[in-house]
């Protein structure tokens, strides 16, 4: 998998936008960036994915730099329920059928009331 | 959206016994499923890739005879922890990859199984 680097922890005030960065400088041209989050003692939850263009869904926005070497996940109006560990993952897609998700250490986001 | 059901959510077993964990994709087919293990305050560690109708592929360092995986249908994979010991106590999580994915893969995770071996 392309290596990803994330800050170990971040705090964000409730109601503000949470911006979570991720570096993936070794990403290949056809590899997607996935974001998942894990709330304590639960399975990971899919948030969003992207290839080249910025993406937005009901949960978040994903901004990918033009060179694709980094991305930022944006939670526009953070709530206390967004407190979780956020994982940025770039699975190796050189062999599409054997792709798998491996998790790094992620960013522990704490939303502060 | 896609749902993966994992059962049981919690299990306590005696040392030396075996425990089976089930992972079902409820509304999609999954030729490929994955099993992870997570220790407290650590990230998820991939244990094995489960393929329907064939042998599972284990990650380096994971004992295949201890963690038996069966993927007999397109919607069900099971993980059996054999002869469990206290050090096997962990949070086990499965994931299923949607066969309907085209250009990118859609992965859905179960809610996890907390195994405690006493």
Q: What is the pLDDT of residues A13-50, one digit of tens each?
A: 999 999 999 999 988 878 889 999 999 989 999 999 99
Q: Which two tokens stand for residue B74?
A: 């397109």
**Edge-to-edge strands, sheet with B19-25:** B4-7, B19-25, B76-81, B67-73
A66: its two tokens:
């033009």
Contact assessment for residue B44 and residue B109, using Cβ atoms and an 8 Å cutoff = no
Using 50, 70 and 90 to split pLDDT, how confident is the model at B85? very high
- What 8-state DSSP symbol labels residue B99? T
Is residue B61 classed exposed, middle or buried when 0-12, 13-18 and 19+ CB atoms within 10 A define those classes?
exposed
pLDDT value of position B72: 86
Percent of chain A with pLDDT over 70: 92
Contact A20/A109 with Cβ under 8 angstroms? yes
- Residue B45: the pLDDT is 95
* Average pLDDT of span B82-100: 95
Identity of the residue in B45, B46, B109 whose CB atom sits nearest the CB atom of A43? B109
B101: pLDDT strictly greater than 60: yes
Instruction: With beta carbons less than 8 A apart as the criterion, state whether A71 and A88 touch.
Output: yes
Q: What is the mean pLDDT of residues B6-17?
A: 97
Confidence at residue B99, expressed as pLDDT on a 0 to 100 scale: 84
Please say whether the dihedral angle defined by the alpha carbons of residues B22, A84, B101 and A25, taken in this order, is positive or negative: negative
Indicate the SS3 state at residue B103.
coil
Stretch B49-77: mean pLDDT: 93
* pLDDT higher than threshold 60 for residue A93: no
The residue among B112 and A101 whose pLDDT is bigger is B112
CA–CA gap between residue B10 and residue B24 (Å, rounded):
16
> Peptide bond preceding B8: is omega within 30 degrees of 0, i.e. cis?
yes
Please report the residues numbered 28 through 67 in chain B whose beta carbons come closer than 8 angstroms to any beta carbon of chain A.
34, 36, 43-46, 49
For residue B100, pLDDT over 90 is answered with no
- Residue range B71-99: mean pLDDT, rounded: 95
pLDDT at A66: 94
Instruction: Classify the phi-psi angles of B100: left when phi > 0, otherwise alpha if psi is within -120 to 50, otherwise beta.
Output: alpha
What is the per-residue pLDDT for B104?
67
CA distance A83 to B54: 39
**Is the predicted pLDDT of residue A3 greater than 90, yes or no?**
no
Flag if B108 and A46 touch (Cβ within 8 Å).
yes
Residues 74-93 of A with CB under 8 A from B: 85, 87, 91
């Amino acid at each position: 998998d392309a290596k990803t680097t994330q800050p170990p922890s971040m705090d964000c005030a409730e109601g503000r936008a949470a911006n979570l960065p991720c570096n993936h400088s070794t990403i290949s041209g056809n590899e997607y960036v996935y974001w998942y989050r894990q709330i304590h003692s639960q399975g990971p939850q899919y948030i969003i994915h992207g290839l080249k263009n910025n993406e937005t869904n009901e949960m978040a926005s994903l901004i990918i730099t033009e060179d694709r070497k980094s991305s930022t996940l944006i939670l526009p109006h953070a709530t206390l329920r967004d407190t979780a560990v956020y994982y940025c993952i770039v699975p190796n897609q050189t062999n599409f059928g054997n792709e798998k998700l491996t998790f790094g250490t992620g960013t522990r986001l704490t939303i502060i009331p | 959206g896609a749902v993966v059901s994992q059962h049981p959510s919690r299990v306590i077993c005696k040392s030396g016994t075996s425990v089976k964990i089930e992972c079902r994709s409820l509304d999609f087919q999954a030729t490929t499923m994955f099993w992870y293990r997570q220790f407290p305050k650590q990230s998820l560690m991939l244990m094995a890739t489960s393929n329907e109708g064939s042998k599972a592929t284990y990650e380096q360092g994971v004992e295949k005879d201890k963690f038996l995986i069966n993927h007999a249908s397109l919607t069900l994979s099971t993980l059996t922890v054999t002869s469990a010991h206290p050090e096997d106590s962990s949070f086990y999580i499965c994931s299923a990859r949607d066969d309907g994915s085209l250009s990118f893969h859609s992965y859905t995770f179960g809610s996890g199984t907390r195994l405690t071996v006493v």
